[in-house]
Amino acid sequence: MRVTSEMPPIPWHKARRADTRQPLTPEAVVEAGIHVLDREGLEGLTMRRVAQELGTGPASLYAHVSGKDELLELMLERISGEIRLPGRPEPERWKEQIKEVCREAQRVYTAHRDITVVSLGGIQLGPNKLKVAEFVVGLLLSAGIPRQVAAYALDGLGQLIDSDAYEASLYTAKIAAGVDVDAYFDGVRDYLARLPEERFPLLKEMAETMVHGDGDERFEFKVEVFLRGLESYIER
């Protein structure tokens, strides 16, 4: 039996057919979509807008993608290829290497506006996404994490990264719209400090503490808490 390393077609993606009459390529369509995304976010990304970016009509895009949903999946897959993984798994440093992957994934996704909404809404099966998953699962298993726990952990870490990157994109959009985010959090702190003590004594007392730390510090904390819990599953 012939062994092949080619990826099988994803069931719900449009079958590719060679067409010499089409000057576009799937890669060009995806790159144009990412350019629109980076400038205008998912809200501004339409098939018509991507076609304008390419100087063509929307109908020409459908020779390469079945519609907007597939285009978004391909864009996320292309962006996921920017994630740099550690050179090799080091089981003795599994927690630190997982953190490295999480930081890198968050860096990549936050650089592309709200692209992680696509990931939150489905299961991604492209080779770039699977490469990251393969590395993380292999590292967890080598550290002694049971297989089912490793599978759940992969899902949980993905949701943690995606939701954090999406929230960061919302704050970026606020800043772009002229919102003073520092003043916003100062307002939150001041509001908590003015709460009636008989009803909310702890929140009033911790007003400064509640808003302390930037997004990176809070992301590091969430990942650390997740990994400490995961560590309790290691088979001794």
CA-based nearest residue to 119, from 84, 67, 154: 154
Output the CA torsion sign for 223, 228, 233, 236. Answer: positive
Which has more pLDDT, 14 or 106? 106
Give the predicted TM-score (pTM) of the model: 0.84
Q: Using one digit for the tens of pLDDT, what is the confidence trace for 10-68?
A: 777 766 654 434 468 999 999 999 999 999 999 999 999 999 999 999 999 999 999 99
Q: Is there a contact between 85 and 139 (Cβ–Cβ < 8 Å)?
A: no
pLDDT-derived band at 176, boundaries 50, 70, 90: confident
Q: Stretch 192-206: mean pLDDT, rounded? A: 97
Q: Stretch 136-154: mean pLDDT, rounded? A: 96
* 172 has pLDDT over 90: no
The single residue listed with the structure tokens 């997004």 is 215
* 5 has pLDDT over 90: no
Output the CA torsion sign for 8, 10, 14, 20. Answer: negative
Structural Rg of the chain based on CA atoms: 22
The single residue listed with the structure tokens 């501004």 is 44
The single residue listed with the structure tokens 């290497």 is 97
What pLDDT sits at residue 73? 95
What pLDDT sits at residue 154? 96
Token representation of residue 136: 């993380």
Mapping DSSP to helix (H, G, I), strand (E, B) and coil, where does residue 11 land? coil
Region of residue 55 (left: phi > 0; alpha: psi -120 to 50; beta: else): left
Q: Using one digit for the tens of pLDDT, what is the confidence trace for 56-101?
A: 999 999 999 999 999 999 999 999 999 999 988 999 999 999 999 9
What pLDDT sits at residue 20? 38
pLDDT, the chain, mean = 91
Could you write out the three-class secondary structure of 148-200? HHHHHHHHHHHHHHHHHHHHHHHHHHHHHCCCCHHHHHHHHHHHHHCCCCCCC
